[in-house]
Every structure is written in C-alpha cells, then in structure tokens.
C-alpha cells in the first residue's frame, strides 16, 4: 500500500513537472543568417485540433513568410516555416494563430534568430538655420532608435571640427559657431551589443548648414540677456603702506566672452599716483538648463607705498545683446581704498627714527652731556630697559636703511637688553616674545619628586653607613636628571625668530610650490622648524616654508 | 680604554636611535591626522635631503595631499632616478604618472608606467597605463569629452578618468613589507 502511494506521488509529480515546463522546441537553420538568406524554422505544436481553417504567423518587421507546411503527427502538428529576412537585426517568430471553426488558438513559439548585416539609420538635425556669431544654440539630432550616450559624444567630436559643440544630454548639443559653416553628412558605424556584434548600425546624418550673422566689431562679450555681473573688489577698504593690495575681478553672464583674455585696471591716487594693471583672466564655462554660463576671473596685486586715497577704475566691456541685437557698454563698479601709515613703522621704527638723530649725536659725541641727558630722558620715557649700545646699533641700522638689521637689533635689545629684575617687573612683554613656561602641573610633579627625594636623602644621611651613601648618590643624581629635564622643557618652549629678506613663503619646501605669503625685508617670522636648506616658519598667522638663505638673522 | 669609550658612546647612540624613531612616529601620526605641514616638517628634520626613499615618498604624498603637484613630481622623479627598493619605485612611478596624466602629459606618463610595468603587473598600474594610452591616442567616447572640456572648461559630469583617487598608494610608512599590496593605505 505504502509502495503504491509513493508510485502515485511520483507519477503526479512527473505530470505536474511536465505541464509546468511544457516548452515548444524549435529548430532554426542555417546557423549563420544574412539578409535575403532563406530561414527554416521547424517546431511541433502539441495540440489535438483536427481541422484548421486558417493559419497566421506573428513575426517581427523585416521578415516575410515565404511558405509553410503542416504535417499531422501523433503528438500534434509539425510545422515547417520558411522565412525570408529583408532587414538585419534580431528577429522573432512570436506566435502561431490557428483558426478552427469560430475558435482561434494561439500558440507562443518565441523562435529567435539573428540576421547579420548593417542597419542604416537616418538622423535629422533640428536647429536654427540662422544665428549670430558666438550665439550658443541647441542642435538636436532625431533618430528612430535609442542611441548610446557614447555615440552622441562621438558625433560631438565630429561636429567640433566645424564649430564648437558640446553634448548636453539625450540628443542635444550646445553649439557655438564663429562663422558660417556646413556640417556634412556624418556616418557612424556602431555594433549592436545585444547580438554580439553580428548586427551593425550605420548612423547617417543629413548635412546641416549654420548661417551666422556677424556681430559688430570690438565686441568683448556676447550675452543672451542683460544679467551681466561685472565687479572688481578688494578684501578691505583701508590698507597700510607697503601692504600688498589684491584686486579680484569677476565677470559672469549668460553667454560667452569673445576676445578679451586680459582686463585693464586703472589706479588713480590723490597723491598723483597713476598705475595701469593688466589682469589676466581665467574663463570657466558651465551649462545650466541648456544655457551657457561663462565666468571670467582674475586677480592682481599692487603695493601702494604712498599714503592717500586711491580710486580703482576698470575698463568698460563692450557687450552684444542677442535679445535686442544691439551693442552696449557695461562699466564695472568704481571702488575706492585708502592707504594709511604703516602701523608697524609708526609704532616702533618711526618712533626710533625720531630719536635716531639724537642717538647718532650720542655715537659721534660721546662726551656731549646734553645728548646723554636727552637719551636718558628718552630711555626713561619709553625704552627704559634698553642698553645704550643696542639703541646705538638700532639707530645705525635705520640710518643705513637696513630694515632687517634694525628688526634684528630691536629683538636682540628686547631680549638681552632687559635685566633680570626688569624681566620680572615686565613679564608680559618679555615672556610673550621669548619665554613660555611649561604647564604648572609639570612644576608641581617635579617639586613633589624633588621634595620626597630630599627627605629621603636627609633620612639616609642620619644612618651614615655604606649603603646609605650609595642611595644618597643615586638620589642626588635623580634630582640632577630632573633638573636637566626641567631645563630642557623650558628650552624647548623658547620660540626661535628669524628676520627675513624679501622672500616668498612657500606652501611646501620646494621653489615650484604655491606662494602663500610675501615677506618683505625685515619681516619677523617665527621659526617652527629649521634645517640647512629650508625653514618652516609662521608669518602673519600662516605657516609655510622659506629658504634658509632668506633668513638673514636669527634670534633665540 | 676602547671598551670604556664604547660604553660611553653606546648610551648616546641608543638615545639618538630612539629620538629618530620617535620623530618618524610623530610624523606618521601627524600625516594620518591630516596635519600635513607638521608631518613634512618632521620628515625634513630627520632627512632634509630626502636620501631615505621612504621619507621622500611620504613627503611627496603629503605634497600631493596639499595640492602641490609639481613639488610632489620633483620628489618622485628624484626617487625614480635613484636606485631604490622596487616597492617605493613602483609607487613613485605610479603616482608621478598619475600627476602627469592629470596634467595631460600623456607621453611622459606612459614612459614612467612602462618602466613600472617592467617590474610589476599591478592592476592599478595597468589600468592607468590604458588610460594614458587612450589619452595619447584619443578614440571614441569618453576621450572625446575630455578633449571638449579643453574648449569649454570642466564638464559638469565627471568622466571616468576622474574616478581614481589622487594618491592611490597612500602614505607609505617605514616598516611595511616588500609586497606592494601591503601598503598601509592602499
């Protein structure tokens, strides 16, 4: 009983399996098919229809049925269908419809075969026939099939030989013509990846003529509308003398710059100063919603030494408006900056310059009691802690106009010219420049260790045996090591300073690297790391590298 | 007497070694934490003339991270011209070629990559070589877009050529094995 049940289950399973997986087995010959090659497809329809009134085959376009035969078999009807492909591509015999009486029986066949060959596809260009010179316009390619993006890009490459074109998306190109031109009929052969290269598409485009209307001569920009942004600006409005003034020029509009790669800037000062700067421009393009946006940027630097008020005027731009078809002149906004006295000079060096003559008197006439009196008065007023020799050296440096040496002597004077008593009296001035104490915790820990060690030493001294002497030596050595460590910690925290010549500050230690700042002669920089060829420095809050030779003086 | 002298010198030698290794470690940590300038300064304090290939390579990578491609290229070329271990040479050749490729100096890049391919069959090197060859002989598709970008500026859509990271081999730290696949930040 059990065995029979198993037999039935297996039988039911086989039936269900066969029904659910019923397939129409078909054969296609020959294996390699080209256009006009007769194709024979055979298949067996598992049906018990006895009479057939009509037969129709559903095939893809480009296939004609030349003849067919039906042979009744025991299992159904055996079909032999002869087809004639007229077009290359992947073709199907989708289904067969048999009409028996008033009933239509549809059998899905799905016989597929590939006809090798080339399919010609014609493309039509859609775009304006007449445009202005440099007017960006959209050129559209209409083709009956979906093409790969790479094909469009390849076509863009071909168009680029005649005018400037860029593929945007789907089938659109943004084109700019400098003059009238004709795009010839392009032919592009691409292989169909679905057919493993058996079928190829030949894309043929029609010729297209672009006629351009000349724009007026002297045009700098061609714009689509009036939304042009043209500015020149500086980072601040007040500068100190000898400080570099950086101008940033910016032009952006919906359109394209035609000629100007540089722009002129005129600087006129109230102190009769006049300068003309040519600023090289970088051009960038972007496409937003099928519109070309162009942007020109540039910057220039000028050092205005004279104190006064300066006006910066830019050359106007000649713009041709495509909307109105007229040329117009657009001026940049005029800006004004004022240059004031250098704070550094006025605070330190300028004060010294006023004293310079008196100090020189002192150098030359050492016995002049009036001069010494004056110097004493000056010292008591401002530079009380400076020694006379330093003051004389600074004065000498200023007389020979060696700013670097003057800065060096000022720093040296600030450092060495201050007696220890005054260092304690004026800790803020001295420590901020040359001295940074380690964290208080560091001292606390060291004091604790030293205290404990000293107590141990005293205790051991009382015992007075050989072992205690040995321990005493060890403990005293430990205190010495700790003292050395403290000294090293303080020494490490003393910043180094350097006085530079006129030198650029590089981003990395290489002369081809970007310049992040400019040190003028006598600039004081903080040395963060020093080596033979390069010094890693901090200047105006920026960290960078200067060649070691550019540091004319060093102060620690 | 000589023994005494050796005993005297030995502690200084040990301290010097420890200081050297500590600085290397500090530079490595600074580089990993993104403090590139500090890392460069530390490397420079150890080997200013870039005689050590590892330090030179690390410095070049750090220059690249800071956007100083020409400076990085100078260091890579220095490493390449000297007789250095294969790992550093290949990495330097690759990175230098990559910078040249980005600068569209395809023939020079190809020359470097050919030199690298003589000693390695690394996939990254091969891939870059293919890209460089495509740049030398512009064919279909993407290359055409890159060409157009020269006229119109950078296209909005990134091309395949920009997929690579700027420094594929990352920072090579001392102590890494000879196999190029074992670079730390590969």
pLDDT tens track for B22-33: 888 888 888 888
Query: Options 1.10.760.10, 2.60.40.1930, 3.40.50.170, 1.10.10.410; which CATH number does A221-340 get?
Result: 2.60.40.1930
- The alpha carbon of A79 is separated from its chain's Cα centroid by a whole number of angstroms, namely 67
Residue A438: predicted pLDDT: 60
Distance of residue A510 Cα from the nearest chain B Cα, in angstroms: 6
Buried b (16+ CB within 10 A) or exposed e, A314-348: bbebbbbbbeeeeeeebebeebebebeebebbeee
Between A241-245, A331-335, B116-120, the lowest mean confidence (pLDDT) is in A241-245
- Tell me if the domain spanning A496-555 has CATH number 2.30.30.40: yes
**Stretch B113-117: mean pLDDT, rounded?**
89
Nearest Cα residue in chain B from A156: B144
| Interface probe with A: pick from B37, B47, B99, B154, most Cβ of A within 10 Å | B37
Using the beta-carbon criterion (under 8 Å), do B71 and A508 form an inter-chain contact? yes
Q: Which of A93-97, A501-505, A537-541, A552-556 comes out lowest in average pLDDT? A: A552-556
Length of chain B: 186
Which residues in chain A touch residue B161, judged by CB atoms under 8 angstroms apart? none
Contact B74 A167 (CB under 8 A): no
pLDDT at B72: 92
Query: Higher pLDDT residue, A355 or A466?
Result: A466
Q: Are strands A26-29 and A39-45 parallel, antiparallel or unpaired?
A: antiparallel
- The answer to the question of residue B117 being in a domain is yes
Q: Is the pLDDT of residue A141 over 60?
A: yes
Contact (Cβ atoms closer than 8 angstroms) between residue A121 and residue A201:
yes
Check: CB of residue B172 under 8 Å from CB of residue B58.
yes
- Banded pLDDT at A506 (limits 50, 70, 90): very high
Lowest mean pLDDT among A163-177, A416-430, A459-473: A416-430
Q: How far is B157 from chain A (nearest CA, A)?
A: 10
Residue B135 lies in a domain: yes
- How far apart CA A52 and CA A70 sit, in angstroms, is 10
Q: Is residue B91 part of a domain?
A: yes
**Residue B42: its chain A contacts at CB < 8 A?**
529
Average of per-residue pLDDT across A489-516: 83
Q: Hey, are the CB atoms on B63 and A157 less than 8 Å from each other?
A: no
Taking an 8 Å cut-off on Cβ atoms, the answer to whether A534 and B44 are in contact is: yes
CB contact under 8 A, B48 and A153: no
State pLDDT tens for residues A17-47: 444 344 457 888 887 888 888 888 888 888 8
Residue A187 has pLDDT above 80, yes or no: yes
Closest listed residue to residue A222, CA positions, set A231, A209, A232, A213: A213
Q: On the CB side of A471, how many CA atoms lie within 13 Å of its CA? A: 16
Question: Where is pLDDT greater, at A7 or A347?
Answer: A7
Determine which of B44, B139, B157, B158 to mutate to test the interface with A (most A C-beta atoms within 10 Å): B44
The pLDDT value recorded for residue A33 is 85
Q: For residue B56, what are the CA distances in angstroms to A214, A369, B53, B92?
A: 58, 63, 5, 10
The more confidently predicted of residues A401 and A466 is: A466
- Which of A110-119, A361-370, A448-457 has maximum average pLDDT? A110-119
Copy the structure tokens of residue A402.
């060696």
pLDDT: is A400 or B8 the higher one? Answer: B8
Rg of chain A on CA atoms, in Å: 46
A166 to B152: CB separation less than 8 angstroms, yes or no: yes
If you measure CA to CA, which chain B residue comes closest to A189? B140
Return the bridge partners of A498, or none.
Answer: A525, A554
Predicted pLDDT at B159 = 29
Nearest residue of chain B to residue A190 (CA atoms): B140
Q: How far is B18 from chain A (nearest CA, A)?
A: 17
A167: chain B residues, CB-CB within 8 Å = 145, 148
- What residue of B is the nearest CA neighbor of A293? B152
- A150, B140: Cβ pair inside 8 Å? yes
Residue A388 has pLDDT above 60, yes or no: no
% pLDDT > 70, chain A? 76
Kindly provide the residue ranges of all beta strands, DSSP E only, lying in A206-316, ordered along the sequence: 208-213, 221-223, 229-234, 238-240, 244-257, 262-269, 274-280, 282-288, 291-303, 308-314
Question: Could you tell me how far CA B86 lies from the centroid of its own chain?
Answer: 13
Say yes or no to pLDDT of A100 above 50: yes
Nearest CA in chain A to B36: A508
Q: What's the rounded Cα separation, in Å, for the pair A433 and A411?
A: 9
- Which of A105, A138, A132 lies closest to A215 in space, CA to CA? A132
Fold assignment, A24-113: Immunoglobulin-like (2.60.40)
**For residue range A240-288, what is the model confidence (pLDDT) as tens digits?**
766 778 888 888 888 888 876 788 888 888 777 777 888 888 888 888 7
- For A77, the token pair is 């009807």
Structure tokens given for B21 = 């290794």
- Give the pLDDT confidence score for residue A439 in this predicted structure: 64
Both ends of chain B: CA-CA distance in Å?
Answer: 52
CA–CA gap between residue B182 and residue B186 (Å, rounded): 7
Average pLDDT over residues A417-426: 55
Chain B interface disruption, residue of A256, A285, A508, most B CBs within 10 A: A508
Domain membership of residue B101 (yes or no) is yes
B41 in contact with chain A, both atoms CB, cutoff 8 A: yes
B144 contacts in A (CB within 8 Å)? 153-154, 156-157
Q: Specify the range with the lowest mean pLDDT, choosing from A29-38, A295-304, A331-340, A429-438.
A: A429-438
* List of chain B residues whose C-beta atoms are within 8 Å of the C-beta of residue A153: 140-142, 144-145
Q: Are A96 and A76 in contact, with CB atoms under 8 Å apart?
A: no
> Which residue in the set A160, A507, A510 is minimally distant from B74, CB to CB?
A510
Restricting to B residues 54-73, those with a Cβ less than 8 Å away from any Cβ of A are 62-63, 66-68, 70-71
For residues A87 and A118, the answer to whether their CB atoms sit within 8 Å is no
For residue A284, give how far its alpha carbon lies from the nearest alpha carbon of chain B (Å): 5
Instruction: Provide CB contacts within 8 A for A390, sequence distance 6+.
Output: A409, A412, A413, A416, A417
pLDDT of A88 above 60: yes
Higher pLDDT, B70 or B174: B70
> What is this model's ipTM?
0.72
Contact B153 A287 (CB under 8 A): no
Reported as a single tens digit per residue, the pLDDT across B86-98 is 888 888 999 999 8
Q: How many A×B Cβ pairs under 8 Å?
A: 83
DSSP A181: E
Three-state secondary-structure class, residue A42: strand
Distinct helix (H) and strand (E) counts, chain A? 11, 35
Per the CB < 8 Å rule, is A532 touching B48? yes
Do residues A171 and A205 lie in contact, with contact meaning Cβ atoms separated by under 8 Å? no
- Report how many domains make up chain B: 1
For residue B125, the enclosing domain spans 76-170
| Confidence band of A395 (pLDDT split at 50, 70, 90) | low
Pick from A287, A507, A531: which is nearest to B45 by CB? A531
- Which is higher by pLDDT, A464 or A292? A292
**Contact yes or no for A513/A507 (Cβ under 8 A):** yes
User: What percentage of chain A exceeds 90 in pLDDT?
Assistant: 2
Residue A252: is it exposed, middle or buried by C-beta count within 10 angstroms (0-12/13-18/19+)? middle
């Amino acid at each position: 009983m059990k065995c029979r049940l198993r037999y039935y289950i297996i039988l039911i399973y086989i039936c269900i399996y066969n029904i659910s997986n019923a397939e129409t087995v078909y054969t296609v010959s020959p294996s390699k098919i080209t256009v006009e090659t007769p194709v024979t497809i055979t298949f067996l329809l598992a049906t018990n229809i006895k009479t057939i009134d009509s037969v129709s085959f559903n095939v893809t376009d480009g296939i004609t049925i030349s003849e067919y035969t039906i042979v009744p078999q025991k299992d159904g009807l055996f079909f032999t269908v002869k087809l004639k492909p007229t077009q290359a591509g992947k073709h199907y015999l989708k289904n067969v419809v048999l009409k028996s009486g008033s009933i239509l029986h549809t059998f899905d066949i799905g016989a597929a075969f590939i006809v090798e060959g080339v399919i010609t596809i014609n493309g039509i260009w859609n775009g304006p026939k007449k445009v202005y010179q440099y007017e960006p316009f959209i050129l559209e390619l209409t083709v009956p099939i979906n093409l790969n993006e790479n094909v469009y890009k390849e076509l863009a490459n071909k168009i680029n030989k005649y005018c400037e074109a860029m593929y945007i998306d789907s089938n659109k190109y943004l084109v700019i013509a400098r003059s009238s031109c004709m795009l010839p009929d392009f032919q592009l052969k691409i292989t169909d990846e679905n057919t493993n290269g058996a079928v190829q598409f030949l894309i043929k485009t029609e010729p297209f003529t672009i006629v351009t209307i000349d724009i007026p001569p002297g045009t700098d920009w061609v714009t689509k509308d009036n939304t042009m942004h043209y500015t020149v600006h500086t980072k601040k409005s007040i500068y100190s003398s000898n400080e570099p003034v950086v101008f940033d020029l910016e032009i952006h509009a919906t359109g394209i710059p035609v000629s100007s790669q540089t722009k002129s800037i005129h600087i006129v000062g109230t102190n009769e100063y006049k300068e003309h700067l040519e600023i090289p421009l970088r051009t960038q393009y972007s496409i937003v919603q099928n519109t070309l946006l162009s942007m020109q940027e540039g910057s220039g630097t000028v050092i205005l030494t004279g104190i006064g008020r300066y006006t910066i005027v830019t050359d106007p731009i000649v713009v041709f408006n495509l909307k109105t078809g007229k040329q117009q002149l657009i001026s940049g906004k005029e800006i004004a900056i004022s240059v004031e006295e250098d704070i550094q000079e006025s605070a330190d060096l300028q004060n010294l310059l006023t004293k310079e003559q008196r100090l020189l008197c002192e150098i030359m006439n050492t016995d002049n009691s009036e001069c010494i009196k004056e110097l004493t008065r000056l010292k008591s007023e401002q530079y009380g802690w400076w020694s006379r020799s330093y003051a004389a050296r600074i004065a000498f440096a200023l007389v020979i106009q060696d700013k670097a040496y003057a800065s060096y002597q000022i720093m040296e004077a600030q450092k060495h010219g201050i007696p220890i008593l005054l260092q304690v009296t004026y800790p803020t001035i001295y420590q901020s420049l040359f001295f940074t104490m380690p964290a208080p915790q560091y001292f606390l820990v060291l004091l604790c260790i030293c205290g404990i060690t000293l107590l141990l030493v005293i205790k051991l001294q009382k015992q007075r045996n050989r072992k205690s002497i040995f321990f005493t030596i060890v403990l005293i050595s430990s205190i010495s090591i700790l003292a050395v460590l403290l000294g090293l910690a303080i020494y490490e925290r003393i910043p180094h300073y350097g006085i530079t010549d006129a030198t650029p500050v590089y981003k990395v230690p290489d002369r081809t690297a970007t310049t992040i700042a400019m040190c003028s002669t006598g600039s004081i920089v903080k040395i963060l790391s020093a080596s033979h060829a390069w010094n890693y420095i901090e200047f105006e809050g920026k960290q960078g590298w200067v060649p070691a030779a550019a540091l004319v003086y060093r102060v620690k | 007497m000589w023994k005494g002298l050796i005993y005297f010198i030995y502690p200084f030698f040990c301290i010097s070694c420890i200081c050297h290794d500590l600085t290397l470690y500090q530079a490595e940590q600074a580089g990993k934490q993104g403090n590139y300038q500090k890392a460069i300064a530390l490397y420079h304090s150890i080997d200013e003339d870039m005689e050590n290939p590892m330090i030179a390579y690390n410095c070049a990578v750090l220059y690249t991270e800071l956007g100083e491609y020409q400076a990085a290229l100078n260091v890579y070329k220095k490493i390449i011209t000297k007789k250095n271990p294969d790992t550093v040479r290949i990495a330097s050749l690759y990175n230098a070629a990559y910078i040249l490729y980005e600068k569209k100096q395809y023939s020079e890049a190809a020359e470097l990559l050919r030199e690298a391919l003589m000693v390695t069959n690394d996939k990254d090197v091969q891939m870059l070589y293919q890209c460089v060859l495509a740049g030398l002989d512009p064919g279909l598709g993407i290359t055409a877009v890159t060409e157009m970008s020269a006229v119109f500026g950078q296209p909005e859509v990134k091309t395949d050529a920009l997929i690579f990271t700027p420094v594929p081999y990352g920072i090579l730290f001392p102590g890494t094995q000879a196999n190029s696949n074992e670079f730390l930040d590969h």
